[in-house]
Chains A and B, each alone.
Chain A
Amino acid sequence: MILVIARREWQASFLSAQAWTLLAASQLILAWIFLRVLEGFSGLQVAQRKVGITLELSVNLFSFTAVLVLLAVPLLSMRILSGEFREGTFNLLGSAPVRLTEILLGKFLGLAAIVIVMGLVPLEISLWLGLATDLDLGLLAAATLGVWLSGLMFAAVGLFASSLTTHPGLAAVASYGILLLMSVINHTGGVWSGGATLFDWLAWNEHLFWLLQGVVRMSDLLYFLLFTTFFLALAHRRLANRRLG
């Protein structure tokens, strides 16, 4: 039943122009960044090159992809539950022999599929370079994994925000609010020097950084897993509370 709902979400995304536009815009923007990285790298003397082209791509192209995903996911997810509440179509799911967990995971998977496609765009662009030079495929895989994990966490946040309200616009604002807070929470400016480690740990970009460097640490994987599960659990609680009124 999870796959039935996920498929419906996937189809709904691509029936509208939204997903296509986002993917097209991502492709265009990332291609531009790719060219800038390539131009900057090829303009340097060999002695001036401190890192390889793969790391340059990882740090610039993939990190920007994560930002694009952060901007796109609230737009993709804002209607996913709040739209159903608003249009009354959630009654269809609520009266079907489907558990709330299945509904939620179906919606999450539908969203995750788009995030995964978006995460493949920089990989696809980078792999074209493989025709001309040797690439560190391990590094590209780690960076892609980082973008995917970040995107899945963003999707869980978007799903939770969408469960809070019947207004899709409000859901998008709530998503941006949570995600931006999790982006800047480590910018304490020395005020919270004692708790800096905790704030650093809470910021998603700190964890993505290591993956973009090609370092796959268990602590970073756990961070994304923990927060994805946390926001899905909150969304589940919200749906259960809605049923309880």
Chain B
Amino acid sequence: MDELLSVRGLGRRYGTHPALAGVDLQLRRGEVLGLLGPNGAGKSTCLQILSGNLAPSSGEVQVLGLDLIHSPCPAKRHIGYLPERPPLYSDMRVDEYLAYCARLRGVPRWQRAEAVDWAKARCGLADAGSRPIIKLSKGYRQRLGLAQAIIHAPDLVILDEPTEGLDPVQIREVRGLIRGLAADCGLILSSHILSEVQAVCSRVLILRDGRVLHQTRLDRDAQTPNGRYLVRLERAPQLRALGALPEVAAAEPLAAGRFRISLHPGASLSFLAKRIVESGWGLTELTPDRTDLERVFFDILGGESRGGASGGGDPGSAMQEAREPGWA
């Protein structure tokens, strides 16, 4: 895999306020990097710099070895950018707009019609070419924003909160689009929603107050990232009895009736559930334990993490949101 993006010591100050400080990151082709963090963490500032819209106060950015700061035009040819608000001209029609974007991005005249058709097909806009942009729904506007970002087949696609404000069906569509795009290029997307990042990213970088707090690779093929589960039982047995089940490698008691268990590699979760039910322990909950990523994320958000991880209380709505698309 070749390196698409290399960022070293990226910093940005607004007056005396550091919006971004010492950010290092790399991106390779085929990777989807998620910038995760609460509002105001510096995600959009970082993406604006990477798209060439904002100058950094310090650091360097290289796109395919081209210096984005000092010679932006050659580097920008390889970048597609969808800002938080799609940059659409409401007085144009979809085809006109995409043709204009293709011209702006330097797509040769003889390839423009093909590029417009390709971007439309990719983003589910094949039948929307003659529609006025002002009449498009929010989901279609987001698709068109994506289409303009990929019309020149860039090596690096930058998406700032691509599913913000969309309904669940539209979110699923946009996520599908992002996964499809990742096969051909490298993607960076920002979000303050953990599930968003978990659903589409191969790597995640957590930002807070403009600093990188945590970086990790996400293995979305694994059943859970760490093989650990939380179990709630109505008639809790001795810890030793739970630990003696063949699928269980280790068990740890939490609050009343709750345990954290680790499974042996390759152990079947359905067999474990069957055994617990057959033992008559009254299984009421079997959920994946939080990952390190979730812990860090909730620490950033202000700390519901420990309570949930230690088994106290029901997960909050944020946690449900975090688990919703799952790691399956």
Chain A contact residues, CB within 8 Å of chain B: 1, 4-5, 8, 12, 15-16, 87-99, 243-245
A-side contacts of B41, CB under 8 Å? none
**Which residues of the partner chain B approach A98 to less than 8 Å between Cβ atoms?**
73, 104
Question: B198 in the interface, Cβ–Cβ < 8 Å?
Answer: no
- Does B100 reach chain A (CB closer than 8 Å)? yes
A245 touches B83 (CB 8 A): no
B272 CB-CB contact with A under 8 Å: no
- List residues of chain B with CB within 8 A of the CB of A91: 48, 51, 53, 81, 83, 87
Bound-complex Cα distance A188 to B104 (A): 48
Among B52, B91, B101, the residue within 8 A (CB) of A94 is: B52
Partner of B148, one of A8, A15, A90, A92: A92
Interface of B: prevailing SS: loop
| B131 part of interface (Cβ distance < 8 Å) | no
Residue of A nearest to B52 (CB): A95
Measured in the bound complex, the distance between the Cα atoms of B54 and A245 in whole Å is 7
Closest to B45 in A: A245
B79: interface (CB < 8 Å): yes
Number of residues on chain B facing chain A (CB within 8 A):
33
Q: Is B307 an interface residue (CB 8 A)?
A: no
Which residues does chain B contribute within 8 Å of A1, judged by CB atoms?
104, 106
Which residues from B are CB-within-8-Å of A16? Answer: 91
B55 at the interface (CB under 8 A from A): yes
Give which listed residue, A8, A12, A92, A97, contacts B87 with CB less than 8 A: A92
Which of A15, A90, A97 is the one whose CB lies under 8 Å from B74? A97
Max count, chain A CB within 10 A of own CB: residue among B51, B88, B89, B148:
B89
The smallest C-beta distance from B11 to any residue of chain A, in angstroms, reads 12
Extra 18 A-B pairs, beta carbons < 8 Å, given A4-B103, A12-B91? A12-B89, A15-B91, A88-B85, A88-B86, A89-B89, A90-B87, A91-B87, A92-B87, A95-B51, A95-B76, A95-B80, A95-B81, A96-B76, A97-B74, A97-B76, A97-B77, A97-B106, A243-B54
CB distance from B255 to the nearest CB of A (A): 48
Residue among A95, A243, A244 with most chain B CB within 10 A? A95
B68-123: which have CB < 8 Å to A?
Answer: 72-74, 76-77, 79-81, 83-92, 100-101, 103-106
Query: Are B106's CB and A95's CB within 8 A?
Result: no
How near does chain B come to A85, taking the closest CB pair, in angstroms? Answer: 11
Cα A93 to Cα B89 in complex, Å, equals 12
CA distance A16 to B91 in the complex (A): 8
B58 → chain A closest CB, angstroms: 13
